Structure 1
Amino acid sequence: MRFCAIADGKPLRTFPGLAPALAFAVVAAISGCQSKNGASEVLDPAAIAVPASQAGATTAAPAQLTASSAATAPKGNLTLGTGSTKIVMLLPLSAPGSAGENGRKMYDAARLAMADLGDKLVTLTIEDTRGDSGYAKDLAVKAITSGGVKVVIGPAELAAAQHLAKLSGTQRPPVLALADNFAGGPGVYSVRLSEADSAAAGAAAVASKGAKKFVLLVPAGANAGAVEARVANALSIYGATLAVTLPYSASDAAKVVSDMGSLVEAPDAVVVASGDGSPVAVLSALKAKGIPGKAVSLIGTERWLERPIDPLYEGAYIATLDQSETGPIADRFKATYNYQPDVNVAYAYDMVALSAGIASSVGPNGFSKQVLENASGFRGSTGLF
């Protein structure tokens, strides 16, 4: 993970040692053992509704590792490897637009990881969600209740991941969700860097330098609580506190910033989450009050970087993925597939590599809460898990 300050639209400096364990957001206990008695012990019966079209799904022969442009979706289910640990990976291979392009990149990454690490350790079945959240949820439920799958990688559809996080069950394999900006849930791990992760890591890094009093400005909505909880927890490690959390909308940003002045005296840092919107309205109001400045640091999130860098970003600290970590994988990937990998490639490769590593060191039944949340973690191309 990289923690950088923005100046003139470019990273000003980086602090490579500030990489907390980010990826697995966990809410409740799960079991790493498979159910042997029936699907009702894996999920509540009401959740087990597999479409008739899936009843006769077939598995293709093992795919060969050949150069690809990631332009076309493979046909049918694909099986890679011959190991005893069964894994299902759900990708939007035939989805239109960028979702499908990302799915096909992740498919190539999975093939590379299997060739590198997992071919004799796991059997990986890759299924096409078509970018349809409902269909992705059905495929995931089928995999969870199959009785043989040890871990599910994906889905990448946010609504499907959120649905899975709401399901209850006494025994089921873990899900390593690839959905962006997913908060995680019981037995459903969020593996991508979320805004809550980025905000918490940025706040923690500034707190580690001595800042004690923080303010959080966060878009009003369902995700506000998750961001607040993560930031407050990260600060507590360094003896710092979140003095106040102020939800805002684009229309009342100036008022919220004005209210901040009357609620908190002399904060050391202000954290600004942006959600799906732009942070510019809040940043403009903060700049009018001299923030950032010598006395007050400004902390942004990786979601700021989804938009063109605005001059108002100058002086802000943002915790995001360190692209240099993906170097060794990126070189092999480009040599194999003749195109440049991106963060989607890195996440998919890491999840297959993690699964192969657990299968190798612990065995097929090693996908437990204790193993996945081991304090030693797993160092992947996207950072420390």
Structure 2
Amino acid sequence: MFAVLAVARKVSGAWIALLSLLALAACGMTLPSGGPSVNTSRPIPVALLVPGGSDNAADATLATSLENAARLAMAELDGVVIDLRVYNTAADATTASAMATKAVSDGAKIILGPVYAGNANAAGLAVANRGINVLAFSNNTDIAGGNVFVLGHTFQSTANRLVGYAANQDKGNILIVHANSPAENAGRSSIERAIASTPATLAGIASFELSQTGIINALPEISAQVRDTGAQSIFLTSGTDGAIPFLAGLLPENGVKPTETQYIGLQRFDIPATAMSLPGLQGGWFALPDQDLNAQFLARYEARYGTQPHPIAGLAYDGIAAIGALASTGQSDALTTTALTQPQGFAGVNGVFRLRGDGTNERGLAVATIEEGQVVILEPAPRSFAGAGF
């Protein structure tokens, strides 16, 4: 029996019961040959590449938080021992390449990290001919592929979840509204791909220059497109730290009322908390990770380390949990690419996730809305890849 998340030894009975519900199994699973060979009866050598050693204090804090989360995961594995070796990259691509090479020379069978896309790409290239996989903490899918997998939450997972939900709610005729920026152009493309793979339809695409003037100038065209196409929903790629506050305030004044046209956000509407008071976001849809599991992770992390983790620290926990689950099979080829991409996926601190053959990932997300300034879950995150949203 192959359980994708090993049950914790040193946590409460309630957490153990929850993990039992989360476990995804593949009975009689046979892992492929090729790739790194591991002796699962001995500690598994794992390299953790973190951005420590740079001149940026935030990098040092992030490095500590990632290492703490990884060690928390190690303490909660059952029957698998990880030999974690930590390497500082100084948030520099050249150093990341050198540290990845050193880690493999030191015996690492898999690499967790680095964080930044350029560093992760450099690390992956450095060890590609050594048959070693890299589970990066980036969410930049441009670097994914070959021996590099991104663990970060991607636009594509969010777009897939929300487009599918919109289609199921008979609000699947979607107008995409995005700023002309590299990130939001990537978000637009993710939504287009999601629409193409569901019963939803693309009503059109409206763009604007990323400035207050650019937004104001684009509003008449956006309003006209909603009216002329009969769009049931507008899918906004901007975040609350960008254009969303302007759009949420000005779109209703220009005839695109949230009571008539469904607002959908590629980025979360609840961060920061003050965004939830924006009238235009009331009733808007967005996606977020499994909040129950995340809350339990935060509580266990704080109990162990006396502080809250960095927002992406859970990715380090997920990486160790996945490695531990694969190693628990006892097979020497447990860390090959095919093993990492097995379709049952893994259960992590933010919910279920699985790695895809193209180096990207798919995560189980909840659909939420804002009601009277509070987050309300419309459809919970699935607890398996046979659940809602898949």
Identity of aligned residues (%): 23
Map Cα deviations across residues 186-234 of structure 1 (whole Å, 9 max, x no partner): 1322212234433442333222222221122223233345323432333
Which one-letter code corresponds to 2:220 in the other structure? S
C-alpha displacement of 1:270: 0.9
Q: Does 1:381 find its partner at 2:343?
A: no
Q: Does 1:122 find its partner at 2:90?
A: no
Which one-letter code corresponds to 2:347 in the other structure? R
Q: Which runs of 5+ in 1 are unaligned?
A: 1-30, 36-80
- Distance, in Å, in 2 between the alignment partners of 1:323 and 1:329 is 10
- Distance, in Å, in 1 between the alignment partners of 2:340 and 2:219 is 40
**2:183 paired residue number:** 223
**1:86 paired residue number:** 45
The number of equivalent residue pairs is 310
Map Cα deviations across residues 277-312 of structure 1 (whole Å, 9 max, x no partner): 342233334222343433311111335555441614
Is the contact made by 2:171 and 2:232 (CA closer than 8 Å) also made in structure 1? yes
Aligned match of 1:313 in 276, 281, 294? 281
- Distance, in Å, in 2 between the alignment partners of 1:148 and 1:119 is 21
Aligned match of 2:253 in 268, 278, 288? 288
- Distance, in Å, in 2 between the alignment partners of 1:111 and 1:154 is 14
- Distance, in Å, in 2 between the alignment partners of 1:239 and 1:291 is 24
Which one-letter code corresponds to 2:46 in the other structure? I
> What do you get for the CA RMSD once the two structures are aligned?
3.4
- Distance, in Å, in 1 between the alignment partners of 2:118 and 2:260 is 41
C-alpha displacement of 1:114: 1.3
**1:256 paired residue number:** 218
Is the contact made by 1:100 and 1:131 (CA closer than 8 Å) also made in structure 2? no
1:55-66 pair list within 5 angstroms: none
1:144-155 pair list within 5 angstroms: 146=105, 148-155=107-114
Is the contact made by 1:291 and 1:297 (CA closer than 8 Å) also made in structure 2? no
**1:368 paired residue number:** 336
Is the contact made by 1:195 and 1:303 (CA closer than 8 Å) also made in structure 2? no
Q: Which runs of 5+ in 2 are unaligned?
A: 1-32, 354-390
- The 1:132/1:196 distance shift into structure 2, 3 A limit, reads same
Map Cα deviations across residues 252-294 of structure 1 (whole Å, 9 max, x no partner): 2233343234445111111111267342233334222343433
1:61-210 pair list within 5 angstroms: 83-95=42-54, 96-117=56-77, 120-143=80-103, 146=105, 148-163=107-122, 172-179=131-138, 183-186=142-145, 187-210=147-170
Q: Tell me the secondary structure at the aligned position of residue 250 of structure 1.
A: coil
Is the contact made by 1:162 and 1:182 (CA closer than 8 Å) also made in structure 2? no
- Distance, in Å, in 2 between the alignment partners of 1:229 and 1:362 is 41
Which one-letter code corresponds to 1:277 in the other structure? G
- Distance, in Å, in 2 between the alignment partners of 1:245 and 1:168 is 41
Which one-letter code corresponds to 1:107 in the other structure? E
**1:53 paired residue number:** none
Is the contact made by 2:97 and 2:123 (CA closer than 8 Å) also made in structure 1? yes
Q: Does 1:302 find its partner at 2:262?
A: no
C-alpha displacement of 1:319: 0.7
1:332-371 pair list within 5 angstroms: 332-361=300-329, 363-371=331-339
- Distance, in Å, in 2 between the alignment partners of 1:246 and 1:367 is 44
Q: What's the TM-score, normalizing by structure 1?
A: 0.69
Q: Tell me the secondary structure at the aligned position of residue 246 of structure 1.
A: strand
